[in-house]
Chains A and B, each alone.
Chain A
């Protein structure tokens, strides 16, 4: 279980050229992520293409689903998830399209507007642009729980690229607290 403050690396922008950000993501610990999800009225987890290369992330996404968090699978991540019993809300649309939908006030999932999106398993530069769109043009809260710190998210894990096991442990801790 991750609990000690000193285990967390400083929040560093993965792309040091990404310097002009007016509001940076708050770097958060797993317990905070779990609380944010629990407090949300209509949260979703969106999964990306990295799941096709990293089976551990598939395992994590399945556990989120089992905890009752609806899953939107993009980039082909639906395939391993469906094989493990997940029924994604969407599997055909790209993250780009899903983000366009989320930006629309009329877009509802289970009859309600989405108020919190958790992202798992994306190419960092691809996800970064989507987080930027939601940051500027919507009031949806976003949480990035990949291994890179995402300045455009509302909340993000810090940079965990040096320690994959720590990243996995943090993901497990989020799940354990849901």
Chain B
């Protein structure tokens, strides 16, 4: 650094440039700072350990070995130690931490791309305005980082914090660090909290800069599904998660007045964000629709950006004669960088086939190139669409190659019985068994890699169910972004008291164990029962494909408000932060809890009072791991489908260990033993029946009022009887007084409590006089944070 010494004056300096960097402004004291402003890697360790004491980590290794360094491979089976001294449990905790780092990095890098690009385009003073109904604009960022961002430029500070923490946590995964799985879990929780900050920044930035809907419940309905596009128009398909690169396509076509001459449809979250930008865009479907759409020859050009996109797009597209434009530096795909080329040169190279694809990380050029390429390719070959096979003879010839060797079945993620479908088709020409497979097929293509005869199995399955696949179209309500403060004011109390029995947040990928319609069956059970259902990402678009007998999707049957019996689509993956944000807003707007640097108190409030449960029926990505783990740190339990086991770690409490279930009661100053509610923070289910019952039981919270508990228990018991054929095993644990019992069953249940559980009942008054874990107290004020207890007890 140049220092002004005595005797040197500014006007004497020659050829010196003086740069003034960021002027450090003192953060506005909008709220007194809590104990964990911009928390470091161990600042919330005590909170994590308190959670993990109750919700003990569970490890289910996929492999018995560790191969991460050159001292290995090490056999860690039966919890043996490897060359570095790490045991199997700790190694698995490290692996989950790494997965969460990847997930958090994906969203945060996405945010960084967006914020830097948007500041360049709109300036750093662009105000953060999420509409008149949203004053608490960034609840996660306010709570964690402690800032109240007013402009795009302000988002950089929060982003800087998230990036720093991700690097620090990733560092801890290096060989020779943590010895305790619990401390790795704490780091996984930490980096996943950073993930929610990253998501929030990304979505706020794109909402304010791109003019996405601002917390509007009744956004447009957009076409969704395989058969949505008019094949008589050129089709531009975008795939990935960062709409920044494909947005200019719409701008270009609007400027040219040609938007109605093209079809623009998306795969995965870019599709959501395209429709948030312009509801003329359409949604093909989730990641599992990539090969379906490409092999059907639907796109005339394909634009890829980042995350959850297939790693073989160049190969898949070139086989179908579809030019590919890769845009994100996260996935350059071995393609030549044509950033410096003229638009005409790029178009010529792609249309002529000289290049299978290009790497073009310049959004404005993508906007121009994609339509020009699509038009030319379309004009050249109009009749190639919807052809998994040229004709039925070709299909039959393909099927005839199968020897039922079972290689595909053993490789398939769902172990689908492809062999049986092929055998029936060979013998009788009946494709029905193959057709059924399409409903569950991920179109991952692993079966084709395993097949010794080289059968195009994905194409066979798709073609066999073509009519149904093509007609699986519906409407998705465009992602609305945040939840309004006014909505929180309305539902905050009924959620905390339990009259609204719960919030079910269905988010994540599509590695469903069942047919796609199962997600709708599960969620409708809760919508009919007046739970609030929130959704995003791939779950949200699958819901838009499944229609009832009257041809309506859930979005057309239930309103888009954040209220009982409504379904809210917040938007893409990064919009998930509005769901964690809504939980935080309940603590802040309804309960007046301060946010700034006050994470543990807010999470403790949510754990004990807000009956929200995350649900990922088909978790698949690393991002899903960090999203779920971030919810867990915030005190929100998450239920995952059976493939979620492959994350290898869960957080499951032991309800029979009474000493684990306690809180401080601020009102009485006592340590109170409580019912195990919720009894798991992350748990996998096997069937949709199990998902429904688990979701209902995990909505129960210690703070429920008698009325609230009665409503929650009513649903839990009804659902258990409906799907399990009996009362739940643990319903009595949640009964504090007779007022908690479902009204219609009160007498019957009192009798069971007396006869089977030894409780004492005053039959004259129909009152419980002995037996519950604790009695009901309307002033009960639970916390598991010592400092919160000490502060509010004073």
How distant is the Cα of A20 from the Cα of B73 in the complex, in angstroms? 10
Q: Render B386-416 as a binary contact track against A, CB cut-off 8 A, 1 for contact.
A: 0000000000000000001011011101010
Are B652 and A100 in touch, CB under 8 angstroms? Answer: yes
- B411, B419, B728, B730: the one within 8 Å of A15 (CB): B411
The residues of B that contact A15 with a CB separation of less than 8 Å are 410-411
A135 to B364, CA, bound (A): 56
- Which positions 81-138 of chain A face chain B at CB distance < 8 Å? 81-83, 90-97, 99-101, 103-104, 106-107, 122-126, 129-130, 132-133, 135-137
**Also in contact, A96 and B650, with CB within 8 A (given A74-B686, A129-B645, A133-B60):** yes
Among B56, B646, B656, B685, the residue within 8 A (CB) of A107 is B656
Please, which residue of chain B has its CB at the minimum distance from the CB of A98? B652
Tell me if B77 and A75 are in contact (CB < 8 A): no
With A76-B690, A76-B724, A137-B89 known to touch, is A96 a contact of B62 (CB < 8 Å)? Answer: no
Does A12 sit within 8 A of B, measured CB to CB? yes
A1 at the binding interface (Cβ < 8 Å): no
Q: Are A74 and B690 in contact, CB atoms less than 8 angstroms apart? A: yes
Q: Cβ of B60: which chain A residues have Cβ within 8 Å of it?
A: 99, 129-130, 132-133
By Cβ-Cβ distance, the 4 closest A-B pairs, closest first, are A76-B689, A79-B725, A49-B687, A22-B77
Q: Are A96 and B729 in contact (CB under 8 A)?
A: no
Report the Cα distance A76→B587, complex, angstroms: 35
Interface string of B464-487 (1 = CB under 8 A from A): 000000000000000000000000
Write the residues of chain A forming the contact surface with B, with a CB cutoff of 8 angstroms: 12-18, 20-23, 48-49, 52, 73-76, 78-83, 90-97, 99-101, 103-104, 106-107, 122-126, 129-130, 132-133, 135-137, 148, 159, 161-162
B697 CB–A CB distance under 8 Å: yes
Q: Are A129 and B686 in contact (CB under 8 A)?
A: no
**Inter-subunit contact B683/A97 (CB<8 Å):** yes
Q: Which partner residue on chain A sits nearest B57 by CB separation? A: A100
Bound CA–CA A136/B645 (angstroms):
16
Partner of A126, one of B62, B406, B686: B686
A159 to B77, CA, bound (A): 24
Contact A125 B413, beta carbon cutoff 8 Å: yes
Which positions 644-679 of chain B face chain A at CB distance < 8 Å?
A: 645-646, 648, 650, 652, 654, 656-657, 679
Nearest to B66 among chain A residues (CB) is A20
Residue from B58, B679, B686 in contact with A133 in the complex, judged by beta carbons closer than 8 Å:
B58
Asked whether B777 is an interface residue with its Cβ less than 8 Å from the other chain, the reply is: no
| Chain A residues whose C-beta falls within 8 Å of the C-beta of B89 in the assembled complex | 137
Q: Are A49 and B689 in contact (CB under 8 A)?
A: yes
On whether the beta carbons of A161 and B406 are closer than 8 Å, the reply is yes
Residue from A79, A122, A136 in contact with B77 in the complex, judged by beta carbons closer than 8 Å: A136
Instruction: Indicate if B763 sits at the interface (CB-CB under 8 A).
Output: no
Which residues of chain B come closer than 8 Å to A136, judged between CB atoms? Answer: 59, 61, 64, 77-79, 88
Selected from B650, B657, B690, the residue in CB contact (under 8 A) with A49 is B690
Shortest distance between the CB of A88 and any CB in chain B (Å): 8
**Bound Cα distance A79, B687 (Å):** 13
A95 to B450, CA, bound (A): 31
> Most chain-B CB neighbours within 10 Å: which of A12, A78, A104, A136?
A136
| Chain B hits for A91, CB < 8 A | 724-726, 728-729
Nearest-neighbor residue (CB-CB) of A100 within chain B: B652
**What residues on B are CB-neighbors of A95 within 8 Å?**
686
Contacts of B79 in A (CB 8 A): 136-137
A129 in contact with B648 given A75-B689, A95-B686, A161-B406 (CB within 8 Å): yes
Extra contacts, 4 of them, besides A81-B725, A83-B725, A133-B58 (Cβ < 8 A), are: A73-B724, A76-B690, A100-B652, A132-B64
Check B687–A13 contact: CB distance below 8 A.
no
Interchain CB contact under 8 A, A20 and B683 = no
Alpha-carbon separation in the docked complex, A93 to B411 (Å):
29
B residues with a Cβ closer than 8 A to A are 56, 58-65, 73, 75, 77-79, 88-89, 404, 406-407, 409-411, 413, 415, 417, 419, 450, 513, 642-643, 645-646, 648, 650, 652, 654, 656-657, 679-680, 683-687, 689-690, 693-694, 697, 720, 723-726, 728-730
Q: Which residues of B contact A78 (CB under 8 A)?
A: 724-726
> Which residues of chain B come closer than 8 Å to A159, judged between CB atoms?
406, 410
Asked whether B684 lies within 8 Å of A94 as measured between CB atoms, the reply is yes
Once the chains bind, are B654 and A125 in contact (CB under 8 Å)? Answer: no
* B64 A52 Cβ-Cβ under 8 A: no
A12 touches B410 (CB 8 A): yes
CB neighbours (8 Å) of B646 from chain A are 125, 129
Residue pair B725, A22 in contact (C-beta under 8 Å): no
- The answer to whether A161 and B690 have CB atoms under 8 Å apart is no
The reply to whether B65 and A20 form a contact with Cβ atoms under 8 Å apart is: yes
Contact between chains at B411 and A94 (CB < 8 Å): no
- Could you say which residues of chain A place their CB within 8 Å of the CB of B62? 18, 129, 132
Q: How far is the CA of A78 from the CA of B724 in the complex (A)?
A: 5
Q: Quick one: given A16-B411, A123-B513, are A52 and B642 in contact (CB under 8 Å)?
A: no
Which residues of the partner chain B approach A22 to less than 8 Å between Cβ atoms? 64-65, 75, 77-78
B33 vs chain A, min Cβ distance (A) = 39
10 example contacts (A-B, Cβ-Cβ < 8 A) are as follows A15-B410, A20-B64, A73-B724, A75-B687, A91-B729, A96-B650, A96-B652, A97-B652, A99-B60, A162-B404
B687 touches A76 (CB 8 A): yes
Chain A residue nearest in CB terms to B404:
A162
Expressed in whole angstroms, the minimum distance between the Cβ of B368 and any Cβ of chain A is 43
A23-B77, A82-B725 given as contacts; is B645 within 8 A of A125 (CB)? yes
Give Cα distance in the complex from A14 to B414, angstroms. 11
Q: In whole Å, how far is B651's beta carbon from the nearest beta carbon of chain A?
A: 10
Shortest C-beta distance, A108 to chain B (Å), equals: 9
Bound CA span A96–B686, Å? 9
Give CA–CA (A133, B59) in the complex, Å. 6
Residue of A nearest to B647 (CB): A129
A99, B642: Cβ atoms closer than 8 Å? no
Q: Which of A83, A94, A104 contacts B654 (CB 8 A)?
A: A104
**Contact with B415, one of A83, A99, A124 (Cβ below 8 angstroms):** A124
Q: How far is the CB of A117 from chain B (nearest CB, A)?
A: 15
Given contacts A14-B415, A49-B687, A129-B646, contact A101 B58 (CB under 8 A): no
A92 touches B728 (CB 8 A): yes
Q: Which of B58, B411, B646 has the most CB of A within 10 A?
A: B58
- Beyond A21-B64, A76-B723, A79-B724, whether A94 also contacts B683 by CB under 8 A is yes
Complex Cα spacing A135 to B413, Å: 22
Closest to A90 in B: B729
Please tell me if the beta carbons of B724 and A92 are within 8 angstroms of each other in the complex.
yes
Q: How far is the CB of B320 from chain A (nearest CB, A)?
A: 28
Residues from chain B with Cβ under 8 Å of A97 in the complex: 652, 679-680, 683
Q: Which residues of A are found within 8 Å of B64, using beta-carbon distances?
A: 20-23, 132, 136
Residue of A nearest to B643 (CB): A125
Of the candidates A17, A90, A96, the one whose C-beta lies within 8 Å of that of B645 is A96
Q: Chain A residues with Cβ under 8 A from B726's Cβ?
A: 78, 82, 91
Cβ A94 vs Cβ B694 within 8 A: yes
Q: How far is the CB of A36 from chain B (nearest CB, A)?
A: 20
Minimum C-beta distance from A151 to chain B (A)? 10
List A contacts of B77 (CB < 8 A): 22-23, 135-136
In the complex, the answer to whether A93 meets B729 with C-beta atoms within 8 Å is yes
- A137 neighbours in B (Cβ, 8 Å): 59, 78-79, 89
The listed residue with most B CB atoms (<10 A of its CB), out of A48, A75, A81, A162, is A75
Q: A107-B656, A136-B61 are in contact. Are A92 and B513 (CB under 8 A)?
A: no
Q: Is the CB of B415 within 8 A of A75?
A: no
Given contacts A101-B656, A125-B646, A137-B59, whether A13 and B690 have CB atoms under 8 Å apart is no
**Are B657's CB and A106's CB within 8 A?**
yes
Contacts of A73 in B (CB 8 A): 724
Q: Is A96 touching B687 in the complex (CB atoms < 8 A)?
A: no
**Which chain B residue shows the least CB distance to A51?**
B687
Instruction: Determine which residue in A13, A16, A22, A122 has the highest number of CB atoms from chain B within 10 A of its CB, and name it.
Output: A22
B686 contact set on A, CB distance < 8 A: 48-49, 74-75, 94-95, 122-123, 126
Q: How far is the CB of B635 from chain A (nearest CB, A)?
A: 19
Query: Chain B: which residue is nearest A95 at the CB level?
Result: B686
Contacts A20-B65, A79-B724, A101-B654 given; does A126 touch B642 at CB 8 Å: yes
